[in-house]
Structure 1
Amino acid sequence: MQPNYVNYQQDQSLLWKGIMAGALAGAALAMLDRETRNTVMHQFRQMGRRSAVIVNEVRSNPKETTLMLKERIQIAAASGKELMEDLKSASAHIEKIKQSGMEAVQNLKDTGMEIKEAGMELKEIGHKAGEAGHQIASGTTTTSAMPPAERKETLPGHSQGI
């Protein structure tokens, strides 16, 4: 397992070296253009001026700068904490919606099965009704389909003489 990890690290190293070499070559080619060179030089000068202002501010007012940085960090931390709470809340809402959707799908499946079963029962009733209609139309009836009085049978609990 170790040789694979070493090969992986070497591949990653070569990849980053290639990316850096490509970036440097691209930057060198871009610097051949006069307008690009002027823009880069202008941006570096502005960055140097800003850095000098920040260094002078820290030198002249170290406590104020420190307090300002602490305040900004606290604001950023509070914003981050609030963002995390909002994300947790949103995640909980999404989970509730997901659960509701899953319950709705299950309810639809259950309802579909109930409708299918009711349809099967109706089909069976229709089939029996069709058979009865066919028997009535043809004039043939089985004794089990006739009412008990016509079959000359007694109902349970009744004597034959009554």
Structure 2
Amino acid sequence: METQQQGGSKLVVGMAAGALAGAAIAMLNSNTRSNVKNNVSGMKDSVSSLANDVKENPSETKDQLMERIKSASEVLKDAANSVQELYSKANGDLREEMKDVQADTQEAVSTAKEVGSKVKDAKEELVNGNGSGNQSYNQPH
């Protein structure tokens, strides 16, 4: 049990070290540093603005936030319904396509068997020479 925990903690430490190394390497690029500074500054301003709004009018800020969450929830529900409808339609169409493919495949196999049987019969007639059609081939014209 201890070995699994040690292995798990080593994995987490390795992942964290990899993330830090990746971040450090990314920060070597001046454009990346500039983008990070701008994004952090923008987040700081947004958080400060939100904190001030909450301090000044907590009830209205809460109502606005709840309205945004409600709106986002409705959008997500609509998107989920659209995805479900698309999935159902695609799944239904796919089932019909699969049925058509299956029927076509069975028909092709049946036709191939018939052709194989006719080729076998023709071969036997040619080898044995007992077919009525063979006599016309053997006679000069």
Which structure 2 residues correspond to residues 65-104 of structure 1 after superposition, within 5 A? 65-104=61-100
* Relative contact order higher in (CA < 8 Å, ≥ 6 apart): 2
Which structure 2 residues correspond to residues 4-153 of structure 1 after superposition, within 5 A? 6-24=2-20, 43-120=39-116, 122-123=118-119, 124=121, 127=125, 131-134=131-134
Q: Distance in 2 between matches of 1:98 and 1:116?
A: 26
Q: How much has 1:13 moved relative to structure 2?
A: 1.7
Q: How much has 1:135 moved relative to structure 2?
A: 6.2
| Rg (Cα) greater in structure | 1
Relative distance call for 1:67 and 1:118 in structure 2 (3 A) is same
1:121-161 CA distances to partner (integer Å, 9 max, x unpaired)? 65548949x612456899xxxxxxxxxxxxxxxxxxxxxxx
Q: How much has 1:94 moved relative to structure 2?
A: 2.1
Relative distance call for 1:136 and 1:79 in structure 2 (3 A) is closer
**Runs of at least 5 residues in structure 2 that lack an aligned partner in the other structure:** none
- The one-letter code matched in structure 2 to 1:131 is G
Relative distance call for 1:83 and 1:28 in structure 2 (3 A) is closer
**Runs of at least 5 residues in structure 1 that lack an aligned partner in the other structure:** 139-162
Relative distance call for 1:8 and 1:135 in structure 2 (3 A) is same
Identity across matched positions, percent: 28
TM-score normalised per structure 1: 0.60
User: For 2:131, what is the secondary structure of its paired residue?
Assistant: helix
- The one-letter code matched in structure 2 to 1:58 is V
- The one-letter code matched in structure 2 to 1:114 is S
- The one-letter code matched in structure 2 to 1:97 is D
